[in-house]
Amino acid sequence: MGIKSTEPTIPLSTPLLSTNNVENNEGTSSIPTILILTTLVAVNGSYVFGSAVGYSSPSQSGIMNDLNLGVAQYAIFGSILTIGAMIGAIASGRIADYTGRRVAMGFSQLFCIFGWIAIAFSKVAWWLYIGRLLVGCGIGLLSYVVPVYVAEITPKNLRGAFTAVHQLMICLGMSLTYLIGAYLNWRIVALIGTIPCLIQLLSLPFIPDSPRWLAKIGKMKESDSALQRLRGKNVDVYQEATEIKEYTEALQQQTESSIIGLFQVQYLKALTVGVGLMILQQFGGINGIVFYANSIFISAGLSESIGTIAMVAVKIPMTTLGVLLMDRSGRRPLLLVSAVGTCVGCFLAAISFFLQDLHKWKEVSPILALVGVLVYVGSYSLGIGAIPWVIMSEIFPINVKGSAGSFVTLINWLCSWIVSYGFNFLMSWSSYGTFIIFSTICGFTVLFVAKLVPETKGCTLEEIQASLNSYSTKR
pLDDT in tens, 392-430: 999 988 878 888 989 999 999 999 888 887 887 888 888
Q: What is the pLDDT of residues 250-307, one digit of tens each?
A: 776 665 556 666 777 788 899 999 999 999 999 998 877 776 666 667 766 667 667 6
Torsion on CA atoms 161, 266, 453, 272, rounded to nearest 10: 100
pLDDT digit string, tens, across residues 360-390: 777 777 888 888 889 999 999 999 999 999 9
For the stretch 253-256, contacts whose Cβ atoms lie closer than 8 Å and that sit 24 or more positions apart, written own/partner, are: 254/397, 254/399, 254/471, 255/399, 256/97, 256/399, 256/400, 256/402, 256/403
Banded model confidence at residue 465, pLDDT cuts 50, 70, 90: confident
What is the residue-averaged pLDDT of the chain?
86
Q: How many residues does the chain have?
A: 475
C-alpha separations of 96 from 38, 180, 226, 244, 276 in Å: 17, 32, 17, 19, 23
Closest C-alpha to 96, from 402, 426, 459? 402
Interval 9-58: pLDDT, tens: 333 333 333 333 334 444 445 889 999 999 999 999 999 999 998 898 78
Q: Calculate what percentage of the chain has a pLDDT beyond 70.
A: 87
pLDDT of res. 23:
41
State pTM to two decimals.
Answer: 0.84
